[in-house]
Amino acid sequence: MVRILLSITVFLIIGDICSAVQAAELPERDSSFSIATQEWPFQPGPRSVKVYLYYPGNELKNVNADTGLMLNLHNWGGTNSSGAGNPAVLTRELNVIAISVDYVQSGSWNDQSGAPYDFGYLQAIDALRALSHVYHALREQKIPFNSRRIYSAGGSGGGNVTLMCNKFAPHTFTCVVDICGMPRLSDDIAFNLPGGSSLDARYSRDQNSADYLSPGAQEIRFIGNPDHLKAMKAMGYAGKIVIIHGTGDTTCPYEDAKQMVQNMQAADLDVKAKFVTQADLDGVVFKNTGHSLGDRTKMIVEFGGPYIIPGNQKFRLRESPTDFELKQDVIYPTSDGRYVISYSNGVPEVRFEAK
């Protein structure tokens, strides 16, 4: 009887180990799959998001000890890599696994109702959970990769989510590239005020509304928030931030981007800005100074590449452990409380704690 019970126990333990390994396995070729993520208050209950993986040469076997990880994040209303970089080019030119995510509210914005636009909050958590999944799976499968080469890039809404990921995981990214992203949830965009940006995030000033935008919720979504940038610096932030923005952009206003960069510089963050003017238009990389701007894949490689591609004079490697390894809380105070991004389980979860 003891032998039978021991055999059953061993079988169950082995079964649990196999299940854990199997759960963390990555597809052998470019593919997509779903992962669990944090609950969205507007649709209570379990939630999952779709993740798209792109390997160098389209196969996991091509990942090597120099290969990095890159979030490649789509635009507002898009899916997969729309409005972002071409994964085939990024994986080849940068030697990275490109990770795209259908974060909360992906897909046509016109088809969605009942909730204001998340504006990088849970969207960043979704993207970071996808990154964490790939990071831990590679570690568990003992597949060599360069964990000091972790990046994010995106265009428009994806640029906004990239910068929010960088904010929520200040020890994780070596370099991030924002192309025409939204620097802040302004009153104009939040409440669809006349004469400003064409973006309408559909928030309410009514404190009794489910769509109410509280002061703290607006402050946490301000990428250039001076207090939060100082907090990032105090936490030891040492990544490279690349901002590419058109001087004629009225959708994600240029003046907001300019202010964001100035605030980053004032906080002594390492930021490089390329503000595109008429003189920069070459018909190849830059085609206009507005929101579409030009070839975003070429922008990522040309302006992010010097810091991302090994062998370049400006190439860098991150020194600190990732937030997934540190498992510490990342905290941003607001006028009405504080936002806590917890990594206690190795994956992020965000919560608000009122005063």
Nearest Cα residue to 107 out of 78, 81, 127: 78
The pLDDT of residue 223? 98
pTM over 0.85: yes
Reported as a single tens digit per residue, the pLDDT across 232-267 is: 999 999 999 999 999 999 999 999 999 999 999 999
Q: Can you spell out the DSSP letters for 15-54? A: HHHHHHHHHHPPPSBSEEEEEEE--BTTB-S-EEEEEEEE
The side-by-side arrangement of strands in the sheet containing 349-354 is 330-334, 337-342, 349-354
Distance from C-alpha of 38 to C-alpha of 319, rounded to nearest angstrom: 29
Over residues 34-76, the pLDDT tens digits come to 999 999 999 999 999 999 999 999 999 999 999 999 999 999 9
Q: Which helix (H) or strand (E) holds 132?
A: helix 121-140
Amino acid at site 105:
Q
Burial call 107-118: b when 16+ CB within 10 Å, e when fewer: eebeeeeeebbb
**Domains, the chain, with CATH or none:** 29-325 (3.40.50.1820)
Q: For 334-350, what is the mean pLDDT?
A: 96
Q: Which of 12, 32, 29 is nearest to 20 (CA)?
A: 12
| Mean predicted lDDT score pLDDT of the chain | 92
Q: What is the pLDDT of residues 209-225, one digit of tens each?
A: 999 999 999 999 999 99
193, 184 contact by CB (below 8 A): no
Q: Are 331 and 316 in contact (CB under 8 A)?
A: no
62 touches 55 (CB < 8 A): yes
